[in-house]
């Protein structure tokens, strides 16, 4: 809508991506701050609360009456703010909206099933959820190839030229990136605000990278690839605004949880941003907390199956520190610090090529 005003009424300021990204941020923030309290009251009235896994640390049982599925609100706010501000003729921006919608629907189905049966493990079956994620990732990856005029080159940090043309194998890698990141954020979402701030840090880094990648002059100066992806920074900024609004209610002690409708969607969107910015490898650093959480689960499961011994007291690793009697706030803030520092390092690498 705002870009339409630029084209029709010649309001030049609305032609700038940075201006529309700022507007999208505050629109999504205001939408979330307005809608979330109403959602919380509705969720409390209808008992749409978070079922707690019986294996979770004892302190989590007190959170069993906390409303969940808040992701529906902030993802909805993100989509709405984006539709007000993006240029609709940009295929990459439309792909971003498609990613948000598809994965929020998967997360909603999982959350709704858990709430309906009042059982943490009663959501979508793991195979069903994974299959839906893979199908959605294939649709998104195919869309990029067929409609967005996107090449299949693979870039690595510190090197200015592509190292490989992946060809048809690109879709397989992109699907892996989207699905893996989606589940990694989902694993991290176990403490109040734990997944929110690392997600904000990652979105900030990707917004910068995508803006650079979409700007011919800056990308040429930094020896980075150039594609018409700048509009996606607006969608990313909108999600940052929505997550900031959500954090107001999600900080410890949380008044609402994002649920799978939020965590699965954030992860898939981060994967999408990594793909279109040619930062699939850099995602490992940008999403360091999500990588650490996922590796802790892989190590725990692998060690138990191979040696019948556990590496951690409990996985994901944030539960390990809970079992060691760390205060929840201490775990959360220290993980936040790691996330911010790793993202600063990731941004520094852009100049080293």
**pLDDT band at residue 286, thresholds of 50, 70 and 90?**
very high
Which residue has 């940008």 as its token pair? 286
Do 93 and 231 form a contact (C-beta atoms < 8 A)? yes
Question: What number is the average pLDDT over the span 315-328?
Answer: 91
What is the sign of the dihedral through the CA atoms of 77, 204, 91 and 278?
negative
Q: What is the pLDDT of residue 1?
A: 67
> 328 CB contacts (<8 Å, ≥6 apart)?
59, 191, 192, 252, 322
Q: What is the pLDDT of residue 23?
A: 95
Interval 30-39: pLDDT, tens: 999 999 999 9
User: What are the start-end ranges of the H helices in the chain?
Assistant: 2-9, 17-45, 71-85, 91-117, 126-147, 169-188, 196-214, 216-221, 232-250, 259-276, 283-286, 288-307, 317-323, 328-348
Radius of gyration for the chain, computed over Cα atoms and rounded to the nearest angstrom: 20
Q: What is the pLDDT of residue 62?
A: 59
How is residue 22 written in tokens? 């700022």
Q: List the beta bridge partners of residue 67.
A: 49
> 116 CB contacts (<8 Å, ≥6 apart)?
122
132 has a pLDDT exceeding 80: yes
**pLDDT band at residue 192, thresholds of 50, 70 and 90?**
confident
Q: What is the pLDDT of residue 47?
A: 76
Question: What number is the average pLDDT over the span 133-151?
Answer: 90
| Mean pLDDT, the chain, integer | 90
Interval 111-126: pLDDT, tens: 888 777 666 555 688 8
């Amino acid at each position: 809508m705002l870009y339409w005003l630029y084209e029709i009424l010649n309001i030049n300021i609305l032609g700038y991506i940075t201006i529309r990204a700022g507007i999208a941020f505050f629109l999504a923030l205001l939408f979330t701050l307005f809608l979330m309290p109403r959602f919380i009251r509705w969720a409390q009235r209808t008992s749409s609360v978070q079922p707690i896994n019986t294996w979770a640390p004892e302190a989590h049982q007190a959170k069993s009456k906390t409303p969940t599925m808040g992701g529906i609100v902030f993802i909805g706010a993100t989509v709405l703010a984006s539709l007000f501000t993006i240029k609709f003729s940009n295929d990459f921006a439309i792909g971003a909206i498609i990613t948000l919608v598809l994965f929020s629907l998967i997360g909603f189905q999982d959350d709704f099933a858990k709430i309906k049966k009042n059982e943490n493990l009663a959501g979508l079956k793991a195979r069903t959820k994974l299959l839906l994620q893979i199908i959605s990732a294939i649709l998104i990856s195919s869309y990029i190839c067929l409609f967005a005029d996107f090449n299949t080159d693979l870039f690595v940090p510190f090197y200015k030229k592509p190292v490989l043309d992946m060809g048809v194998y690109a879709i397989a890698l992109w699907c892996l990136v989207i699905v893996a990141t989606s589940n990694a954020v989902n694993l991290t979402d176990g403490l109040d605000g734990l997944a929110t701030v690392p997600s904000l840090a990652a979105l900030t880094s990707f917004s910068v990278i995508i803006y650079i990648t979409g700007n011919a002059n800056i990308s040429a100066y930094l020896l980075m690839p150039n594609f018409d992806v700048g509009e996606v920074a607006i969608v990313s900024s909108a999600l940052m605004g929505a997550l900031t609004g959500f954090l107001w209610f999600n900080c410890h002690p949380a008044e609402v949880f994002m649920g799978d409708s939020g965590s699965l969607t954030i992860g898939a969107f981060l994967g999408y941003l990594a793909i279109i910015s040619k930062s699939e490898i850099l995602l490992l650093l940008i999403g360091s907390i999500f990588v650490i959480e996922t590796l802790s689960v892989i190590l725990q499961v692998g060690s138990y199956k191979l040696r019948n011994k556990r590496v951690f007291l409990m996985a994901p690793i944030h539960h390990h520190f809970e079992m060691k009697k760390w205060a929840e706030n201490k775990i959360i803030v220290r993980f936040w610090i790691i996330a911010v520092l790793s993202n600063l390092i990731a941004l520094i690498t852009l100049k080293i090529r």
